[in-house]
Amino acid sequence: MQRTVDGQRFCRDCWRADPRSFGDCSRCGQNATIIVRRPALVCLACYTAPVKMCELCGEPGRVATHLDGRRVCARCYYAMRRPQPCPECGRKVFLTGFMNGHKVCAECAGAPVTMACPGCGTIEEVRKHRLCVECRRPIAIQQLLADDSGEIRPELHPLAEYLVTHHGSAISLERWLYKSRCAVVLRELADGTLPLTADAIMTRAHAGQSVAFLLSLLIRSGVLPDFDIQAARFEHWFQRWLPTVPHPEDRLLLRRYCTWELLPSGRSLRGRPATAVRSGSTYQKVRAALKRCAALLQQIRASGETLTTYPQRSLDGFLTGSPSQRDALAPFTRWLRRHRLSRLRVEFRSHRLEGRDYAADHRWTMARAFITRDDMDPVTRVSGLLVLFYGLHLTRIAAITRAQVDTTARPMTLTVGTEPIELPEVLAEAMVQLLDGNRSDTWLFPGRNPGRPITPGPLSRRLRQEGLLAGSARVTALMDLTRQLHPRIVSDLLGITASSAAAWARLSGGEWSDYPALRSTST
């Protein structure tokens, strides 16, 4: 509340609108809202609060307000604008009252409720300017997406409705609207300076994560039709990278290799349905492979040779021993030989299953920690238990959909292979907790980009923070499972190939040659 000249009480808006609150400032000479009248008129812009001892914290500071007749410094005043637990009733609200020498909520102090949001009346949300964050949400979206006339383009109406109704945290939304690069691109889409097309957005938003998020947001809200974002990003990159290769024959060769070998469906990348998308890491590997191949072709031309005359010994000298270089050039040279373009050869790396596993007792120690930690984040807990119990790869865990979880079955089941897995009670409870707090109607682990699942990287970081190394725990779990179960059963339950399950069984030292006879006897 504020006081006018004659002592009547008005709210802040009415006080500032009342003509009696205005006057000619003695310092700047402007006719403005007067905050001090004695000994001279001083407007709100010219006024500087005096430094006095705060009667709440006991520290000197500029006086911001008075609470129950006590001076309150600016630090304590702005601390009141953030909800805190009330010492009397325990509610987390604004503490704007004073009782028994402590700050309490207005209801416990028997004082009028102040600082309530004028939009919804809440005293439980962080305040900024005047409205709470939820009431500021539609205003911020309107300011972002409106054009010069103050209206939102009809094409962007679905986006405005999506941001109002579907975004979970209003605080993170507001922070994103004012600080992210995507908001700058959205502003240009709103005022018409940037065409509402995927190519224009990818050209304008240079950062890959910003492009992926913004396109996912526009697709999810219905502004753009559904398409494979990662494939479109790769095609956009490829069309701009290929002209940087100096020789036209090399450009033609790399285009053929990319279209028919690396990406067999590359002729229609944009038209692929969302259900057939590849992960972003797949396209990152393709980009790296193309750059390695281009470097080899450039080396061949720099030496004055061609693909047919370049000697094998020169290629062996060109190889640096880098695993990524060998992984890129081995399939490239095989493709060249298959099409009789060269006789060069780079041997593939031999992939072996290595026993970089935990000790079994350490695995179960970690499992007990994940089982007993009820306060752990459900995403971390469920993903960790899936790794520890079943040895699932983080890539497959991230791609689990809600449809794969059958909550009606008793016990609850999860299907990742051809046969459902019956979940133990502790994992089922954690799964229910995860589903209840899930904002996605498709994915079990929704990611940062709207409509897309989480990527393995954030899952791995979450598990490492809890002391769990997903790779080592997965090896230990698979060796233990293939030691106890026949590889075919492991293959059906976990969705891995039979040969891979058999390889894990051999690594674990399991012997299942007598399994068919045992099974025929039991049946």
pLDDT in tens, 118-143: 777 777 766 655 677 778 788 888 88
Q: At residue 268, does pLDDT exceed 70?
A: no
Task: Give the confidence band of 275 by pLDDT, cuts at 50, 70, 90.
Answer: very low
| One-letter amino acid for residue 484 of the chain | Q
**Torsion region of 121: left, alpha or beta (phi above 0 gives left; psi -120 to 50 gives alpha):** left
Q: How confident is the model at residue 447, as a pLDDT?
A: 85
Alpha-helical segments (H) within 223-264 = 229-241, 248-257
Q: Is 404 helix (H, G, I), strand (E, B) or coil?
A: helix
Mean pLDDT (the chain, rounded): 83
Q: How confident is the model at residue 90, as a pLDDT?
A: 85
Q: How confident is the model at residue 273, as a pLDDT?
A: 42
User: What one-character DSSP code corresponds to residue 45?
Assistant: T
- Show the tokens assigned to 102: 């402590």
Closest CA to 116 of 129, 137, 134, 131: 131
Distance, C-alpha 319 to centroid of its chain = 38
- Show the tokens assigned to 271: 């038209």
Do 465 and 484 contact (CB within 8 A), yes or no?
no
pLDDT in tens, 201-240: 888 887 777 888 889 889 988 999 988 888 888 999 999 9
Identify the bridge partners of residue 2 per DSSP, sorted by sequence position.
10
Residues of the chain with pLDDT > 70: what percent?
A: 87
**Residue 393 burial (CB < 10 Å; 0-12/13-18/19+)?**
middle
- Show the tokens assigned to 128: 């900024």
Q: At residue 257, does pLDDT exceed 80?
A: yes
Q: How confident is the model at residue 270, as a pLDDT?
A: 45
| CA separation, residue 403 to residues 70, 377, 396, 455 (Å) | 60, 22, 14, 19
User: Helices 280-302 & 229-241, crossing angle to 10 degrees?
Assistant: 20
H or E element at residue 480: helix 470-484
Do 55 and 103 contact (CB within 8 A), yes or no?
no
What is the spatial distance between Cα 10 and Cα 18, in angstroms, rounded to a whole number?
9
Distance, C-alpha 96 to centroid of its chain = 37
User: What one-character DSSP code corresponds to residue 132?
Assistant: B
CATH number, span 360-517: 1.10.443.10
Q: At residue 420, does pLDDT exceed 80?
A: yes
Neighbours of 450 (CB within 10 A): 21
Output helix, strand, coil percentages for the chain, rounded to the nearest 5.
Answer: 50, 10, 40
Residue with tokens 């897309």, as numbered in its chain: 452
User: What one-character DSSP code corresponds to residue 402?
Assistant: G
